[in-house]
Structure 1
Amino acid sequence: MRKMEQYFYDGQFLKCYEEAKRQASSGEDEQAEKFLKLFQKYEYDNFPQPTREILQSIERSNESYAENDEVEQLRAIRDEQQFAAKVRQLEHDVRSAGDERKAQSFYIQGHLFLMAHHYDESVHCFMEAVKHNSNKALFYGIAGQTMNRFNWSPFEVMAYIERAIDLDPENPRWHWNKALVLTQLYKDLQEEPFLGNALIAIEKASETCRGDQVSLRNGIDSTLENLKEYLFN
């Protein structure tokens, strides 16, 4: 199997797209043209690029991150005027603050919209967080996870999950999400390599999941059992 196809069936669509462009530029290549046609509608050329290495956020045992603390502080506010003032400050930050604070403000608003069941707005905010801080795996990963939860195209979702894994390959959550999307692609397209790579991804998720991550472990184990049913049916 060619590298281009290996990337495709492993859900590394950004890498597949770049390889397809290289292959197409060297002469006529029907497979490369097919991939280019598929991916160009998702504007991968404009996908955010990391600019530097940073220390990535570590998921806590309760599935939260340090970046979520501000969300919990807002949820604890009982005074409506005080809450409204905090939200106005978030909105001000996304207009006037530096990029890192803009990204964090969008991330917080994404969670607030998610809790309010405004799902499109939530995804938009997570995507904006990525645009303003393209170095943080958490922002890519939560954007992709939320998109997948609400049935966005796998070819949109996986670009975010792929980048989250590239930036933070030891976070089991991103490998778990990768397995979920690859499984959906297998169900949609009935291409066996998607299923095989989904199993590899869920095994990586299991390997990297810490002992204290009980809730995440339960999700990973449940997905693994579902994959086994596909394999043996």
Structure 2
Amino acid sequence: ERGIITKEHTDGLAFVWGDVQVYLNAINKIVEMPTEFYQNLAQGVERASSIYGGEDYALAFGGTEMPEYHTGIACYLNNLTGARHSHLDSAGYDIDQKLIGKEFGIEEVVEKLLKEEEWRQILSSLVVCFFARKVYTPAIITKALNAIGIENWDAEDFDDLGRVIHRAKMDFKFREGFDLDKLRIPGRIFEIPTLHGLLKEEDLRKAIAVYKEKIGTRKNKL
């Protein structure tokens, strides 16, 4: 609607909010890829926006399209820094919700996200469904491991192993070219209020810097 993408690009389709049929037709074209535009769009909005413009509206983080959460700084820091750039990495949206009505600092948010993502390395290694994550506490997991003869594990052991696994994933990403300092942040997310009001880019950039410092510090302690 801002004129960045025209009918010439879309093979005659006019994208208008609320026109469901047009978007259904567009989905089919993304699958079928009849034109160069749809071939590029099929590779994601990161690629499409790099060719046609409109990067501020291309809601992708680390190259991955965002989930349906616009809750605050934690969810976007999760999307940007998570090992998979998925809301399932550290559930930033959940942290934002728990912080409603509370005073909090950037470092606190980063610490919560990092601790959650490290713990989820243990859960995913045990093939635990994240919907059931609150059932599988360290105590329950220890009891389950004891039952099959894997003994003498405690919460501290899980913390240490989760940190090792997470850093191994991040080290691989860094080796392959991922750079926290070069993350693109779509401007659109700063235009719409979150649960905590308008998000500021400088705060999100600062949070990324704090995250970078913390994973470096923790790695040195391994």
Output the TM-score relative to the length of structure 2. 0.28
Q: Which one has the bigger helix percentage?
A: 1
Output the TM-score relative to the length of structure 1. 0.27
